[in-house]
Amino acid sequence: MKIAILGWGSLIWQPKDLAFNKNFGWKPDGPILPIEFARISNDGRLTLVITEKGTEVTTLYTLSNYHDLDEAILNLAVREGSDKSYIGYYDKNNATFFSTNLNIKSNIEKWIEQTDFDAVIWTDLPEKLESKDPLEYLKSLTGNKSALAEEYIRRTPIQIKTALRTKIEEELNWKPIE
């Protein structure tokens, strides 16, 4: 199997042990998905997730070194520090789709049909804001948590231009790092 891995955040600049083809790199023309900074991670960063409230953006993708879908899913789950149930996938060969975000299925199908990939996987973590205003949350951070949050937002690929990112750039001056 030829398996694509979708990305839009730290997976791209901080892949850690993700087994992907470094020669293939990250391509900028993945499927269009509703993405937003809508999850507070364990280290305090405000991270990107697929959400119905997200901005439709073109994601990035790379080629997994694995040719078995279960192995590729496990590898991404380990990289994300999550359970395999938080990894979405679409297997084109048998039209199997798994995601908590059912509204993205047609975009995933449309994109993969235009490629030679057999399957695609992505991080499928839910929103986690705990009723906090994201911008006010970022303004309240101090020390290392603030630095980590700023780095995550500034290093996010420029094409992931969400509504909240625009506000963050305007109010906090956290402009993208090329």
**What tens digit of pLDDT does each residue of 80-133 get?**
999 999 999 999 999 999 999 999 999 999 999 999 999 999 999 999 997 779
Asked if 31 and 107 count as a contact pair (C-beta separation under 8 A), the reply is yes
Asked if 177 and 154 count as a contact pair (C-beta separation under 8 A), the reply is yes
For strands 3-7 and 32-40, give the pairing.
unpaired
Q: Check pLDDT > 80 for residue 33.
A: yes
Q: Tell me the C-alpha distance between 131 and 65, whole Å.
A: 39
Mean pLDDT of the chain: 96
Please report the pLDDT score of residue 130 as a whole number.
78
Residue 81, sorted as left (phi over 0), alpha (psi -120 to 50) or beta, turns out to be left
**Position 55 confidence tier, pLDDT thresholds 50, 70, 90:** very high
**What tens digit of pLDDT does each residue of 148-167 get?**
999 999 999 999 999 999 99
Collapsing DSSP to helix, strand or coil, 139 comes out as: helix
Identify the burial level of 55 via C-beta atoms within 10 angstroms of its C-beta, where 0-12 means exposed, 13-18 middle and 19 or more buried. middle
| Torsion over CA: 66, 70, 73, 79 (sign) | negative
Please report the pLDDT score of residue 132 as a whole number.
78
Element containing residue 75 per DSSP (H, E): helix 69-80
